[in-house]
Amino acid sequence: MSAAIHYRITPKQPHAHLYEVVLTIQSPDPLGQHLNLPAWIPGSYMIRDFARNIVTLKASCADGPLTLEKLDKQRWRLPPCDGPVVVTAQVYAWDLSVRGAHLDASHAYFNAVALCLAVEGQTDQPCGVTLVPPPGAQGWRVATTLPSAGAEPYAFGEYQARDYDELLDHPVEMGRFALYHFEACGVPHDVAISGRFRVDGERLCRDLQATCEYQIRLFGEPAPMSRYLFMLQVTGDGYGGLEHRSSTSLMCNRTHLPLPGEVKQSEGYRTLLGLCSHEYFHTWNVKRIKPALFVPYELSREQPTPLLWFFEGVTSYYDDLALLRSGVVTLPAYLELLGQGLTRVLRTPGRHLQSVSDSSFDAWTKLYKMDENGPNAIISYYSKGALIALALDLTLREHSAGGMNLDQVMQALWADYLADPSGVTPQGLEARIATLAGLELSDWFERALRSTDELPLGELLAGHGVHLHLRASEGAKDLGGVAAKQPAGRSALGVRTKEEPFGVRLTSVLSHSPAQRAGLSGGDLLVAVDGLQVSHAQLAERIAGYPIGESLKLHAFRRDELLEFEVELSAAELDTCYLELDEQADAVTVLRRRAWLGE
């Protein structure tokens, strides 16, 4: 592949967190070449203004230096000149996340959206990439699924991309990472882990293999990629993931890794497996099957779509379900996870004000910019979308004439993509599902997607042999999913909190709660209850120890001012869910449940 565009990427100054990116344009626009850097990265729906991290930008040609004219926050123009043109950028990289670029003496990581300028009018041209090690690096390797153009596996050297879009979809990790390998349905899969950690790599690969094979077979072989890479950065408190066409970037807490000799499946490890499953499912659902609006992506501005409930919500439904069906988690564990998902939605008052369709459309300015009032005003299209996917799956299983279910919907959408990759529209998606099911679903979609009506999940789960129970929360660490450990009738403040060294930080004060009525606000630092110092670990039990209706004096700092509040306690809401199998279910219901859960 001849490269009309070439990037030479060097982690030039690790201690200063500076990359050097040298862009060579063989045939610049004779009228003056325009360049730009994307403002956002697909899969993370917020303007991030990556161009703000460019420290210096210089250009030259055979005749000498060129003056770059800056047109706006992310675009530049070169004067007319003969090629080739060389543009050299120094880019600051200190974003330890899955979205941008990071560089220090221990490792280098980047998404090309954060480093590589687009050559306008030539983004369909082949791109060559030379990856260069940092000065004096010893033992560093490269982990990426960017196709090689001569570089040995996991080595620095020459790589290539068909066009700029493909270049953006292959993140790169450089450093002294550990590498593990497995195959799923004949496809090589690698796991590159960076950071300080201990891990039972064999167990991790075994569980990932089962999950990946299940998903490949769900959509149908062959898999859409020739190899796949899990890139995992381990930190003390990290969590997150971002999907790509043949890889995923992940961050996790080091305590979430399975330890050598450990038999029990910890909650943290279960969380990590769910994250891996989620990003892997995106290989089909959003990286290929996607909104028509994203074909192609417009990375200079927002691209609002009401369809994120489907592409993130359905994926969130299948991430844990795939763990169950592949045998990676047990049925009780899955019911606990599902109960926790229901709890997250029930504890969000914003579900009464914002539909999931609006949540999808407004992701750019609301969900991705969550503030202290977020829980009161918005609902996550991830969590609510997962419940809509559950409700849709159970509705189809119970009522469709042809025994349709969401698995078959996803398979049909995959077949549609293979025939025509131009993407789906909101109306087209709903009509396609209704046609496949042989049902009139327009009213169903209207209520589920564009209203704030509650989903009839209790009824649908009962029809599949599962009881839904509600109870009050038992404190900040109570995520739901299990039966109550404490007596009912507890008092509550109605706040979300985080731990602070000298008190309890109120991250959100929920609508119509005792705390809101008393005048407390998100951001306040609660330091005393009824004249006694309080900690994060003590707060829920301390409040629960007072009878419903009791009036208490609370002291909190707002900024640097100590304020006193009088709060009248009320009963904790029944906003915590747990699920149990119906042991008395009839044979038809049990068969329906087994078909759904893969028992």
The distance of Cα 590 from the centroid of its chain, to the nearest Å, equals 34
Total H helices, total E strands in the chain: 16, 30
Bridge pairing between strands 178-184 and 5-13: unpaired
Fill in the amino acid letter for 263. Answer: V
Fill in the amino acid letter for 267. Answer: E
Cis omega (within 30 of 0) for bond into 38: no
- Look at residue 209 in the predicted model and tell me its pLDDT: 98
The distance of Cα 517 from the centroid of its chain, to the nearest Å, equals 34
pLDDT in tens, 374-399: 999 999 999 999 999 999 999 999 99
Quote the tokens at residue 368. 């991705």
Q: Say if residue 317's pLDDT is above 70.
A: yes
Residue with tokens 């068969």: 591
Euclidean distance between CA atoms 108 and 95, whole angstroms: 11
pLDDT in tens, 271-295: 999 999 999 999 999 999 999 999 9
Cis omega (within 30 of 0) for bond into 332: no
pLDDT in tens, 527-564: 999 999 999 988 988 998 899 999 999 999 999 999 99
CB-count exposure of residue 403 (10 Å: 0-12, 13-18, 19+):
exposed
pLDDT band at 167 (very low <50, low <70, confident <90, very high): very high
| 177-272: CATH class | mainly alpha
Q: Say if residue 475's pLDDT is above 90.
A: no
Strand order in the sheet with 34-36: 69-72, 75-77, 34-36, 118-119
Rounded average pLDDT over 482-490: 84
Q: What secondary structure does DSSP assign to 487-553, as a single string?
A: -S--EE--EEEEEETTEEEEEEE-TT-HHHHHT--TT-EEEEETTEE--TTTHHHHHHTSPTT-EEE
Residue with tokens 């914002």: 354
Question: Average pLDDT of the chain?
Answer: 96
Query: Measuring CA to CA, how many Å separate 452 from each of 56, 152, 358, 455?
Result: 49, 54, 10, 9
Taking the domains of the chain in order of start, what are their residue ranges? 5-174, 177-272, 284-462, 491-571
Quote the tokens at residue 242. 């971002």
Euclidean distance between CA atoms 118 and 3, whole angstroms: 14
Do 5-174 and 491-571 show the same overall fold? Answer: no
pLDDT band at 155 (very low <50, low <70, confident <90, very high): very high
Quote the tokens at residue 205. 């690969």
Are 438 and 404 in contact, with CB atoms under 8 Å apart? yes
Architecture of domain 491-571: Roll (2.30)
- Percent over 70 (pLDDT), the chain: 99
- Look at residue 313 in the predicted model and tell me its pLDDT: 98
Reply yes or no on domain 284-462 having CATH 1.10.390.10.
Answer: yes
Euclidean distance between CA atoms 94 and 115, whole angstroms: 12
Euclidean distance between CA atoms 366 and 94, whole angstroms: 25
Reply yes or no on domain 5-174 having CATH 1.10.730.10.
Answer: no
Euclidean distance between CA atoms 378 and 354, whole angstroms: 5
pLDDT in tens, 169-226: 999 999 999 999 999 999 999 999 999 999 999 999 999 999 999 999 999 999 999 9
pLDDT in tens, 396-414: 999 986 689 999 999 999 9
Euclidean distance between CA atoms 262 and 260, whole angstroms: 6
pTM of the model: 0.95
Angle of CA points 484, 577, 325, to nearest 5°? 110
CB-count exposure of residue 123 (10 Å: 0-12, 13-18, 19+):
middle
pLDDT band at 1 (very low <50, low <70, confident <90, very high): very low
Helix (H, G, I), strand (E, B) or coil at 350: helix
Helix (H, G, I), strand (E, B) or coil at 368: helix
CA-atom Rg of the chain in angstroms: 26
Q: Say if residue 73's pLDDT is above 90.
A: yes
Euclidean distance between CA atoms 371 and 328, whole angstroms: 36
DSSP-derived letter for residue 357 is H
Q: Which of 158-172, 416-430, 463-477 has the lowest mean pLDDT?
A: 463-477
